[in-house]
């Protein structure tokens, strides 16, 4: 048993002794899914259908389009006259994250509609009270299988999933320090990539408030910097200039002795949403074997997009067994809504008992759970969808000679005004591409972000 397994078990024992362990118990609703009724097959197809167009084609009426354009800067050449027909109508959506086009798939629509007709939205409440049903349990099982983990926790969003995991993680030191403030050598040291998503950053800040953690930010995908932080105090140039939140001062850092007493968790995006680059998972796995830290990844943009079966970034790099916790969302490639944490049974117990964003949030509506389950089944069967995405990536590379490694195309422009002008030009050309500005990205690194679907 690893150190982390022992610590989680000890934390659960402490919660159990105080009668604070919580678990979900599903309410049984009439189920219209193939898992419960084999006669109900999920319909899949060998290629795109007319419904796929609706996932990338949107309609904007002319008054809305005119108002939108009037808010964007222009260079004086391209004005808008009162009588000018500025267009509107149909536009191609390049700003969304519906990578596989599953939001409009007949099987996903059918699953949502059948569940809504049969049970409505389902019980409204948090999962620990009355919001957890057999639909939710079935979705958790399918996600755990997809990620090759023992179990799974559903959350209302991917943002909430990161918050729930981090607050559960931050509770471990407090639980094991027996009602006193943890000393430095009892705190959990969290390592975070400088360009991690806002949900990870906010989760870390919540964990810090629990006084059971210390945080280290390493330069984006810089494994040498991470390795040095895992060993000893960093050198004078340790601070990254592109940190997403305030750097940690030299006096805040803990010496190497700390890490011989307590392993540390490392949390990062597997595929970074604003830059489109992958985390170096093989190198992270090598460091994990060297230092023994807990490896958690946010696989939001890689789930169902990467790997033969859609298992995500860890499947591509053949390191699923080395990833301890896999966090993700159902709002991107699954085309639905919600978040999840794929993990062990013991971690699930801890998150359900200490993950605040899980405990205090209303569960997913039943039609969303049913649609999400159908989307995962479709994505695993219709492998041609993943192949089509990666073919477009290769084609884009060939045509532009740009070094693109994922379906996320990030073109850094610079100032806000320049990015907004670019967005305006794309709108007038019939493409919905929103400018990405602070606080999403750092000042003077505004960009156009496009995604392949």
Locate CATH 3.90.1150.10 in the chain: 50-103+383-451
β-bridge mates for residue 239, sequence order: none
User: Residue 253: which pLDDT band, with cuts at 50, 70 and 90?
Assistant: very low
The Cα–Cα gap between 132 and 123 comes to 8
Average pLDDT over residues 347-352: 98
Choosing among 3.90.79.10, 1.10.357.10, 3.40.640.10, 3.90.1150.10, the CATH entry for 3-27+119-379 is 3.40.640.10
Average confidence (pLDDT) over 407-427: 91
CATH 3.40.640.10, the chain: domain bounds: 3-27+119-379
The model's confidence at residue 256, banded by pLDDT at 50, 70 and 90, is very low
Is the predicted pLDDT of residue 34 greater than 80, yes or no?
A: no
**Half-sphere exposure of 363 toward its Cβ, with a 13 Å CA cutoff?**
31
User: What is the rounded average pLDDT for all residues in the chain?
Assistant: 86
pTM equals: 0.89
As a whole number of angstroms, the distance between CA 73 and CA 94 comes to: 20
Instruction: Sort strands 325-329 and 294-298 into parallel, antiparallel or unpaired.
Output: parallel
The answer to whether 450 touches 409, Cβ cutoff 8 Å, is: yes
Provide the pLDDT confidence category of residue 59 given band limits of 50, 70 and 90: confident
Return all residues near 322 (Cβ < 8 A) that are at least 6 apart.
285, 288, 289, 295, 314
**pLDDT value for 184:** 67
pLDDT at site 235: 34
* CB-neighbour burial class of residue 345 (10 A; exposed 0-12, middle 13-18, buried 19+): exposed
Residue 80 pLDDT > 90: no
**Assigned CATH for 50-103+383-451:** 3.90.1150.10
Q: What band does 402 get if pLDDT is binned at 50, 70 and 90? A: confident
85-94, 102-111, 243-252, range with the lowest pLDDT: 243-252
pLDDT band at 66 (very low <50, low <70, confident <90, very high): confident
Q: Which of 191-200, 248-257, 348-357 has the weakest average pLDDT? A: 248-257
In the prediction, which pLDDT does 69 show?
82
Q: How confident is the model over 297-326, as a mean pLDDT? A: 96
Confidence bin at 62 (pLDDT 50/70/90): confident
pLDDT of 94 reads: 87
Q: Give the pLDDT band of residue 254 (cuts 50, 70, 90).
A: very low
CA distance 421 to 104: 31
User: What whole-number percentage of the chain has pLDDT above 70?
Assistant: 85
């Amino acid at each position: 048993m690893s150190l982390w397994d022992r610590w989680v078990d000890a934390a659960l024992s402490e919660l159990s002794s105080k009668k604070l362990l919580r678990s979900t118990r599903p309410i049984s609703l009439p189920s219209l899914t193939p898992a419960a009724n084999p006669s109900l097959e999920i319909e899949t197809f060998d290629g795109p259908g007319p419904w796929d167009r609706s996932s990338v084609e949107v309609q904007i009426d002319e008054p809305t389009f005119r108002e939108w354009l009037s808010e964007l800067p222009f260079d004086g050449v391209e004005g808008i006259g009162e009588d000018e027909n500025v267009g509107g109508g149909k536009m191609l959506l390049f700003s969304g994250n519906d990578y596989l086009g599953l939001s409009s798939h007949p099987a996903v629509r059918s699953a949502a509609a059948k569940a809504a007709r049969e049970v409505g939205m389902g019980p409204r409440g948090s999962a620990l009270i009355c919001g957890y049903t057999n639909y939710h349990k079935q979705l958790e099982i399918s996600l755990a299988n997809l990620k090759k983990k023992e179990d799974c926790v559903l959350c209302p969003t991917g943002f909430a999933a990161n918050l729930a995991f981090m607050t559960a993680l931050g509770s471990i030191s407090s639980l094991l320090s027996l009602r006193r403030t943890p000393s430095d050598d009892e705190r959990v040291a969290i390592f975070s990539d400088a360009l991690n998503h806002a949900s990870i950053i906010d989760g870390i800040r919540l964990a810090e408030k629990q006084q059971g953690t210390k945080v280290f930010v390493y330069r984006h995908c810089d494994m040498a910097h991470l390795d040095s932080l895992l060993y000893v105090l960093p050198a004078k140039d340790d601070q990254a200039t592109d940190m997403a939140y305030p750097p940690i001062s030299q006096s805040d850092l803990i010496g190497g002795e700390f890490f011989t007493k307590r392993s540390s968790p490392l949390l990062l995006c597997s595929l970074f949403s604003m830059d489109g680059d992958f985390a170096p998972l093989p190198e992270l796995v090598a460091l994990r074997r060297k230092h023994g830290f807990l490896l958690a990844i946010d696989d939001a943009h890689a789930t169902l997009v990467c790997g033969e079966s859609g298992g995500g970034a860890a499947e591509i790099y053949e390191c699923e067994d080395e990833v301890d916790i896999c966090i993700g969302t159902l709002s991107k490639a699954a085309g639905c809504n919600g978040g999840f944490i794929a993990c062990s049974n013991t971690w699930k117990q801890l998150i359900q008992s200490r993950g605040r964003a899980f405990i205090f949030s209303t569960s997913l509506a039943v039609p969303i759970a049913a649609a999400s389950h159908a989307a995962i089944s479709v994505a695993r069967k219709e492998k041609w969808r993943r192949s089509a995405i990666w073919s477009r990536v290769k084609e884009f590379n060939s045509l532009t000679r740009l070094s693109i490694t994922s379906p996320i195309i990030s073109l850094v422009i610079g100032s806000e005004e320049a990015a907004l002008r670019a967005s305006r030009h794309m709108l007038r050309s019939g493409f919905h591409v929103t400018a990405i500005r602070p606080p999403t990205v750092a000042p003077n690194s505004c960009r156009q972000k496009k995604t392949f679907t």
